[in-house]
Amino acid sequence: MGKHSKSKSNDDEKNNDSELNREKLQSNDSIVIPIFAIGFTVILLSLVSVIFPGLIIFIIGDHEFLEPSEIGAMGLPFIITNIIIFSLIILHLKHILPDSFVRYCKRILSFDLSKRNSLVFLIIILIIYIATSANELSINEFHQYGDFQVVERAIEIWPDQESENDYVTEQLSRHVRMALLVTSEEIFDNIKILPYFASILLLATTYFLTVKFCKKNFTGLIAVILVLQSSTFYTYDTIAVYENFWVLFYVLSIYLILQKPRISSVFYVLSIFSKAITVLMLPVSILVTLLSDIPKQKKIFVIVTHVIVLIVTMIIFQFSNSIYGNVIDINTSEFVTGFSTLAFNLRFDIFLLLFLLPVSMGLFLKARNGCKSSISLMILMCGTILVTPILEMITNFYFVYPYRYVPLVIFFAISASSLLSKK
For residue 170, name the pLDDT band (cuts at 50, 70, 90).
Answer: confident
pLDDT digits (tens, 9 = 90+) for 88-103: 999 999 989 998 988 9
The predicted model gives 293-301 an average pLDDT of 96
CB of 370 within 8 A of CB of 24? yes
In angstroms, the CA 221 to CA 281 distance is: 26
pTM above 0.95, yes or no: no
Of residues 57 and 295, the one with the higher pLDDT is 295
pLDDT digits (tens, 9 = 90+) for 359-390: 999 999 999 998 999 999 999 999 999 999 99
The residue length of the chain stands at 423
Stronger pLDDT, 17 or 79, i.e. the higher one: 79
pLDDT of 22 strictly over 60: no
What's residue 185's pLDDT?
A: 94
**For position 275, what pLDDT does the model report?**
93
Element (H, E) at 219: helix 217-228
Q: Find the mean pLDDT for residues 333-337.
A: 87
- Sign for the CA dihedral angle at 396, 399, 400, 406 comes to negative
In one-letter notation, the amino acid at residue 88 is L
**How many C-beta atoms surround the C-beta of residue 68 within 10 A?**
13
Using the 8-state DSSP alphabet, how is residue 237 labeled?
A: T
Looking at 82-86, 281-285, 331-335, which range is the least confident one? 331-335
| DSSP state for residue 135 in the 8-state scheme | G
Number of Cβ within 10 Å of residue 320's Cβ equals 13
Q: Among 69-83, 215-229, 270-284, 323-337, which stretch is predicted with the lowest mean pLDDT?
A: 323-337
What is the pLDDT, as a whole number, of residue 6?
A: 46
- Give 161's pLDDT tier (boundaries 50, 70, 90): low
Task: Give me the percent of the chain exceeding a pLDDT of 70.
Answer: 91
- φ, ψ dihedrals at 266, nearest 5°: -60, -45
pLDDT score, position 20: 47
Q: Which of 24, 28, 39 lies closest to 284 in space, CA to CA?
A: 39
Residue 278 φ/ψ, nearest 5 degrees: -70, -10
Name which residue leads in pLDDT, 215 or 333. Answer: 215
* pLDDT of 11 above 80: no
